[in-house]
Amino acid sequence: MNIHEYQAKELFRAMGLVVPPGDVADTVDGALALAREYGLPVMVKSQVLTGGRGKAGGVKFCETEEDVKTHAGNILGMDIKGHTVHKVLITPAETIAEEYYVGMLVDRASRRVLLMASAEGGVEIEQVAKDNPDAILKFAIDPRYGLLDHQALGVAMKMTGDIKKARQLAVGMQKLYRSFMHSDASLAEINPYIFTDEGVGKAIDAKVNLDDNAMYRHPTYEAMRDLDEEEASEAMARKADLSFVKLEGNVGCLVNGAGLAMATMDLVKYYGGLPANFLDIGGSSNPDKVVNALEIILTDPNVEVILFNIFGGITRCDDVAKGIIEATKRMDIKVPIVVRLTGTNEVEARELLAETDLVPAATMDEAVQKAIELAGK
């Protein structure tokens, strides 16, 4: 789950990081009121869950109230990479003497939280990683002890020769680590971490991704979820505890297991079709879950056929068959349904399906080919 910059900054502030004041507005008048409260000059920053806001014209420096009106007016409602701007963050403009990058993520290889820091702040870190990988310092943090003083300072001293600044950076890193662990983050970035002309270190931008699996123990963060940013069908899927991603094709896919679901999409493409979605109905599936899954897939008007690909392991095929039959009774499904069920209790499942007008298939390849053929009709 991604959260907005202003939310990430709230999270950092709560852990004691130095973050400039700021608040969000959804109207020009609201933006103006905030600008007056903080005093000019201010920054007007679009709050959307995507990168490249600056390049798209979604971040503007405002010296006058007229600037605030113009820029807030332009940015509110703006489309940035398919995301509509509903809110702008108003924050005092800082004088920037130096810019650094400080970030953390869960590193698969070391299985630790990895601190990444660079003196090349303010630019996209992916670009730095590509052009000049040596400019990124890395340190894997031992979860037993956290980021120790000398470890943080050791990294910071490689970023600046100024001990006063290094100490501020080091403390910033430690507070970022505490924010990361406290919020069950999967990514937390300060880019840039700046020093003002007076030598004061501040986090002036913030990006945080939170671990969906941990949100059950963070109701306050779960409440930060921006429902406007979610595809309606993806929101439905999340509520039904299904893993779903909408795609552009016409073959609706309903598969048990993420790997098999991806392989099914790939196979649809292999045989010349286009998948409409990724959908994993998960492990212990019950009929209600299948009904939910069908409802979600059928919200997409592009779907011309539904393809079930179920290899039963933890999922029992007779459960799935009952779900499909119940769903087709409850719903008015106009598109053909191809069903491939293999594995646990498959004989019982086939007996149940034999009395319906669903299109059976014995293998994954046969099912995909039949689905593509039916979608073309």
Partner 1 sequence: MAIFCKADTKILVQGITGRDGSFHAKSMLDYGTNIVAGVTPGRGGQTFEGKVPVFDSVAEAVAETGADASVIFVPPFGAAGAVFEAADAGCKLVVCITEGVPTLDMVKVMPFLEERGVRMVGPNCPGFINPGMKAKLGILPGNIVAPGPVGLISRSGTLTYEVVDALTKAGLGQTTCLGIGGDPVIGTQFMDALKAFHADAETKALVMIGEIGGDAEERAAEYIKANMDIPVVSFIAGRTAPPGKRMGHAGAIVTGGTGTAADKKKALEAAGIPVADRPVDVVPLLRELWKDAP
The contact set with partner 1 (CB under 8 A) reads: 106, 108-109, 111-113, 126, 129, 142-144, 181, 184, 186, 211-214, 216-217, 243, 245, 247, 255-263, 265-270, 275, 278, 280, 282-284, 311-315, 342-344, 363-365
The least CB distance from residue 343 to partner 1, in Å, is: 6
Mention every residue, 6+ apart, whose C-beta is less than 8 A from residue 261.
243, 253, 255, 278, 279, 280, 309
Angle at 197 between CA 192 and CA 198, to 5 degrees: 110
Smallest gap from Cβ 153 to partner 1, in A, equals 23
Per the residue annotation, which of 100, 101, 177, 221 is the catalytic one?
A: 101
Dist. CA 147–CA 153, nearest whole Å: 10
Rank residues 23 and 211 by Cβ distance to partner 1 and give the closer one.
211
Specify whether 193 is catalytic: no
Pick 118 or 160: Cβ nearer partner 1:
118
CA atoms within 13 A on the CB side of 251: 30
- Among 292, 193, 306, 283, which residue's Cα sits nearest to residue 239? 292
Of the residues 5, 98, 99, 189, only one is catalytic, namely: 189
**Min separation Cβ 152 and partner 1, Å:** 18
Angle, nearest 10°, between helix axes 149-157 and 163-183? 130
Of 58 and 275, which has the nearer Cβ to partner 1? 275
**With respect to partner 1, which residue has the nearer C-beta, 90 or 260?**
260
The helix (run of H) or strand (run of E) holding residue 116 is strand 112-118
C-beta closer to partner 1: residue 90 or 368:
368
Is residue 27 within 8 A of residue 61, CB to CB? The reply is no
Least distance (Å) between residue 126 CB and partner 1: 4
Work out the angle between the directed axes of helices 163-183 and 5-14 (0-180°, nearest 10): 100
As measured in angstroms, the least distance from the Cβ of 332 to partner 1 is 29
Beta bridge partners of 114: 105, 140
Q: Reply yes or no: is the peptide bond before residue 41 cis, omega within 30 of 0.
A: yes
Q: Is 189 a catalytic residue?
A: yes
> What residues are labeled active site?
101, 189
